[in-house]
């Protein structure tokens, strides 16, 4: 699933490790999310949404969104 996680992270000047700490996951997970190789669970998606104060749909775009 496409996402703009790396953009949001860069805007705050965070490393992947720092973002991982904020979300309570491993750096490996952040990397897999940003490269689109792993889609977050719903609880993790909500934590990401709360952290960046944007709705989930503004951060993640699935292939069926058509936008």
Partner 1 sequence: MTSSHNQAGRTYAIEFGGAMVAYAVVLIIAITVLNANPHGAWRPFVAVAPVIPAIFGVLAFVRFLRRMDELQRRIQLEALGLSFAATAILTFAYGFLEFVGFPAVNFVWVFPVMIMIWGLGLAVAARRYA
Cα dihedral sign, 39-43-45-51 = negative
Shortest distance in whole angstroms from residue 9 CB to partner 1: 16
Q: Measured from the CB atom, is 32 or 66 closer to partner 1?
A: 32
Helices and strands in the chain: count of H runs, count of E runs: 5, 2
Q: Give residues 22-61 in contact with partner 1 (rule: CB under 8 A).
A: 24-26, 28-29, 31-32, 37-38, 40-41, 44
> Hey, how many other C-beta atoms are within 10 angstroms of the C-beta on 47?
16
Which residues are at the interface with partner 1 (CB under 8 A)?
18, 20-21, 24-26, 28-29, 31-32, 37-38, 40-41, 44
């Amino acid at each position: 699933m496409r996402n703009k996680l790396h953009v949001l992270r860069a805007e705050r000047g965070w490393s992947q490790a720092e973002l991982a700490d904020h979300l309570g996951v491993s750096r490996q997970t952040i990397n897999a999310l940003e490269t689109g190789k792993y889609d977050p669970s719903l609880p993790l998606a909500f934590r990401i949404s709360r952290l960046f104060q944007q709705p989930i749909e503004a951060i993640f775009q699935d292939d069926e969104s058509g936008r």
